[in-house]
Chains A and B, each alone.
Chain A
């Protein structure tokens, strides 16, 4: 590991054993840092802002739907609002959320190494992301975009300023934003693949990788292979809109359905870019809070790779009613069902891990168990949509909206917030208030289900999506859903406040507050600049609770259940205080 260059600008002033937060001060040092943890923290701040922004758009969308007809905004504003919600949540928040923010901080530490393989590339990916996000913000200020996050042609590509039939909104800058952010995603993917292959600590065999690492590995492969297709597609769209080249617009000799093939060839694998890392987080949390190696470790790892592979073969299920041959439709339906197998394997193994564990329901575990429940519903409702006859009825209705929110929010956001709770002490060196955490979790969980369970019923009853106005018979369910969104928003407000309070006045976190056997908890909190005081050599797996020593596990919280198992150090520290 001699080749890595993590030297900060002022080499001689830096104490490599100081915490990464304190190793060098000043915003200038942060902006040019090549430390993966600092880059991860900056990503975390950026995606959190994006999440808050996307959340506000969502609340406005739900508020507008509270009554039939105009409630707070006109139709054009509404269309821009739901498009911005989709674009911001997908491209600015959910794709970089777990891999680029948490993965960046945790992955090298779980590998027992000093940094990622290409630290400067890592910083570049952050800047590319921010640059892309600026284009997105520019298009919002410039009147927004009203195509939905899917940019379907010819509505998105046929510019009315040149006599076309499409959208008059700022499609071009928003397309460019997604195009640029794609590169950030590719750079992170390349970096993680190289890091996992080449930079593992001595003794860290492939079979000892954490499941989070396996998940990031699978995700990175998808990012590297699929994202270029999105880039090409968006470039073609730009060329059609800007230069009038006929690719997708039938008026110019193009084929609008071709765009959907291109778009979903990226965006379906992208669904796994979004969910697989969350599955990795959940594997970590369930192992730690059951104090047990996950059942079927290899099966869970392999199913992440299986999802990555299958994700490339099922894009056609977005086009069942769009105009594909019956033969293609049949094949895509059959392939789509295969996705259920690795997803099911994961769920069975997680549940089996709980069996004969030592289960603690601290806040990260609440999020992981919520994931288990909500993702099960999200996955099963996916079967409805894979079944051809049923999909024809449910396609492009609120049922689909509810389904992917159960997967993306019930899955990825639960994993993201769970991971944030789980690693927060490691990231910041601070503890948070467990009561507030549970309080917030309760409102998010209840609010989410109220908001989106009702939308399944709305969809089955025939309410199409992306509707500004609706028939009177749908109003009651829309109102319940909107009220649920307030509860959900309140829950996130509680959590935001809790984390800010923790930053300002939180108690210092011990090295291993949860009693985990994984490598990131074996190093001081917050980690030193080069992650470990001494280069680690692994003599056991990261889930080997039966091999970990009591000092490794129980130096931490005053675990009321194991008062005598605290390490000597902690007992002494306690005695002093």
Chain B
């Protein structure tokens, strides 16, 4: 799995928690620190008492244990006191949570789709960008999350937010990024072979940098050499996480073993045997169809794999086809 990093990694605020990069993080951190120190104090008291008693009342010749009496007031004391404490804990946890569960008025909506094994972000312009979420510092966002196959969970540790992506339902999270830099998206709900590879990078940019970036949305950004169809296709192939199943360079090999998907290098203009019987010519039309409607014609031996569909623009499809044609 490859996560690109920005040069400026924000510093972590404590040794336990990742950097706090949105308005939703500080309430969680305050709650976390509160319960952490409460727990430390409790553990120290219980452990110290235990050790003290074990040493003080260790078995000695001729000394018997004292018969146990009834201590009703003590029992009531240590039942009622924790009850009050947990009331406080519930209140602290709930009030921070309900604040984070509410979206700001007029928040920018971004559609998040999880599928095995890539996160895809659809911006208000309608452009779909996989594996990279670019946000503007200080702008309120609402992520509308869904899944196209099994359960996934959209998790950004730097924002302290997580929400399951459930097929057939929408769920949402809301936040305002407050610090520029790089953050991570993880999939936190187990989703099969490449669950741990289902990540994305988050980039929080200053407003002016964001405007600059938004101009290139849906286009190839880079030097003219990087934007020849073959090279553009190569980068799309990686960003759409095609490599997690078909291998880097379409070799069909992932991490030294056979990948989930078939080998793509060298198949162009050859006959491929299908599950449904009969061969198909792997030409431009077949490749295009296999990206847009992957399960229309499944090649033999891959019946158990359900590749998700990808929505791409024509020039992007052209670029990917050009890239696949170049692979030997």
Check: A322 CB closer than 8 A to any chain B CB.
Answer: yes
Of A30-38, A263-271, A338-346, A522-530, the one touching chain B: A338-346
Contacts of B31 in A (CB 8 A): 387, 389-390
Check: A165 CB closer than 8 A to any chain B CB.
Answer: yes
By beta carbon, the residue of chain B nearest A467 is B196
Contact bitstring B125-166, A, C-beta under 8 A = 1, else 0: 000000000000000000000000111010101101111101
A359 contacts B59, C-beta separation under 8 Å: yes
B89 contacts A355, C-beta separation under 8 Å: no
By beta carbon, the residue of chain B nearest A83 is B190
A165 to chain B, nearest CB (A): 4
Give Cα A388 to B196, complex, Å: 25
Contact bitstring B285-316, A, C-beta under 8 A = 1, else 0: 00000000001000000011110000000000
Check: A244 CB closer than 8 A to any chain B CB.
Answer: no
The residue from A148, A333, A358 contacting B90, defined by CB atoms under 8 A apart: A333
B64 contacts A392, C-beta separation under 8 Å: no
Check: B216 CB closer than 8 A to any chain A CB.
Answer: no
Give Cα A118 to B127, complex, Å: 68
B65 contacts A356, C-beta separation under 8 Å: yes
Give Cα A391 to B153, complex, Å: 14
Check: A291 CB closer than 8 A to any chain B CB.
Answer: yes
Of A151-159, A221-229, A435-443, the one touching chain B: A151-159
Check: B270 CB closer than 8 A to any chain A CB.
Answer: no
Check: A202 CB closer than 8 A to any chain B CB.
Answer: no
A388 contacts B97, C-beta separation under 8 Å: yes
Q: Which of B48-76 contact A (CB under 8 A)?
A: 49-50, 53-54, 57-61, 63-68, 71, 74-75
B188 contacts A386, C-beta separation under 8 Å: no
The residue from A79, A295, A323, A348 contacting B193, defined by CB atoms under 8 A apart: A79
Check: B282 CB closer than 8 A to any chain A CB.
Answer: no
Contacts of A69 in B (CB 8 A): 255
Check: B277 CB closer than 8 A to any chain A CB.
Answer: no
Give Cα A393 to B59, complex, Å: 47
Contacts of B194 in A (CB 8 A): 75
A397 contacts B100, C-beta separation under 8 Å: no
A155 contacts B190, C-beta separation under 8 Å: yes
Give Cα A257 to B89, complex, Å: 27
Contacts of B90 in A (CB 8 A): 333-334, 337, 386-387
The residue from B50, B160, B255, B303 contacting A393, defined by CB atoms under 8 A apart: B160
The residue from A166, A257, A340 contacting B166, defined by CB atoms under 8 A apart: A257
By beta carbon, the residue of chain B nearest A154 is B150
Contact bitstring B70-113, A, C-beta under 8 A = 1, else 0: 01001100110011001101101110111011000000000000
Contacts of A294 in B (CB 8 A): 68
In the complex with contacts A330-B94, A344-B78, A355-B53, A165-B28 CB distance below 8 A: no
B98 contacts A338, C-beta separation under 8 Å: no
In the complex with contacts A165-B306, A380-B43, A388-B97, A323-B164 CB distance below 8 A: yes
Contacts of A161 in B (CB 8 A): 303-304
B148 to chain A, nearest CB (A): 8
B192 contacts A387, C-beta separation under 8 Å: no
In the complex with contacts A75-B193, A358-B65, A373-B47, A323-B89 CB distance below 8 A: no
* Secondary structure of the B contact surface, majority rule: mixed
Contacts of A360 in B (CB 8 A): 58-59
Contact bitstring A356-390, B, C-beta under 8 A = 1, else 0: 11111100000001001100110011011011111
Check: A5 CB closer than 8 A to any chain B CB.
Answer: no
Give Cα A456 to B174, complex, Å: 26
Contacts of A341 in B (CB 8 A): 79, 82-83, 86
Check: A468 CB closer than 8 A to any chain B CB.
Answer: yes
Check: A164 CB closer than 8 A to any chain B CB.
Answer: yes
Give Cα A333 to B93, complex, Å: 9
Contact bitstring B248-274, A, C-beta under 8 A = 1, else 0: 000000111100000000000000000
Check: B217 CB closer than 8 A to any chain A CB.
Answer: no
By beta carbon, the residue of chain A nearest B67 is A546
Contacts of A296 in B (CB 8 A): 71, 74-75
A-B contact count (CB 8 A): 284
B154 to chain A, nearest CB (A): 9
Contact bitstring A272-305, B, C-beta under 8 A = 1, else 0: 0000000000000000001111111101000000
Could you say which of A147, A154, A357 has the most chain B C-beta atoms within 10 Å of its C-beta?
A357
A50 to chain B, nearest CB (A): 23
A160 contacts B196, C-beta separation under 8 Å: no
Check: A352 CB closer than 8 A to any chain B CB.
Answer: yes
B68 contacts A293, C-beta separation under 8 Å: yes
A152 contacts B151, C-beta separation under 8 Å: yes
Check: B228 CB closer than 8 A to any chain A CB.
Answer: no
In the complex with contacts A155-B191, A386-B93, A392-B100, A469-B86 CB distance below 8 A: no
Give Cα A251 to B167, complex, Å: 8
A326 contacts B68, C-beta separation under 8 Å: no
By beta carbon, the residue of chain B nearest A319 is B164
In the complex with contacts A389-B97, A390-B35, A561-B60, A337-B89 CB distance below 8 A: yes
The residue from B42, B184, B192, B195 contacting A380, defined by CB atoms under 8 A apart: B42
B68 to chain A, nearest CB (A): 4
Give Cα A227 to B234, complex, Å: 52
The residue from B64, B150, B160, B295 contacting A166, defined by CB atoms under 8 A apart: B150
Give Cα A357 to B63, complex, Å: 9
In the complex with contacts A395-B188, A468-B196, A359-B57 CB distance below 8 A: yes
A383 to chain B, nearest CB (A): 6
Check: A354 CB closer than 8 A to any chain B CB.
Answer: yes
Can you list 13 A-B pairs with a CB-CB distance of less than 8 A? A155-B190, A160-B306, A161-B304, A295-B68, A351-B50, A357-B65, A380-B38, A390-B28, A390-B35, A457-B16, A461-B12, A470-B196, A543-B68
- List chain A positions with a Cβ less than 8 A from chain B: 69-70, 74-76, 79, 146-148, 152-155, 158, 160-161, 163-168, 250-251, 255-257, 290-297, 299, 321-323, 326, 329-330, 333-334, 337-338, 340-341, 344-345, 347-349, 351-361, 369, 372-373, 376-377, 380-381, 383-384, 386-393, 395-397, 457, 460-462, 464-471, 543, 545-546, 561-562
The 7 closest A-B pairs by CB, nearest first: A462-B157, A387-B93, A250-B168, A388-B97, A389-B96, A354-B53, A467-B196
10 further contact pairs, Cβ within 8 A, besides A147-B190, A389-B93, A460-B17: A70-B255, A160-B303, A160-B306, A163-B306, A358-B65, A380-B38, A392-B97, A392-B100, A395-B188, A461-B16
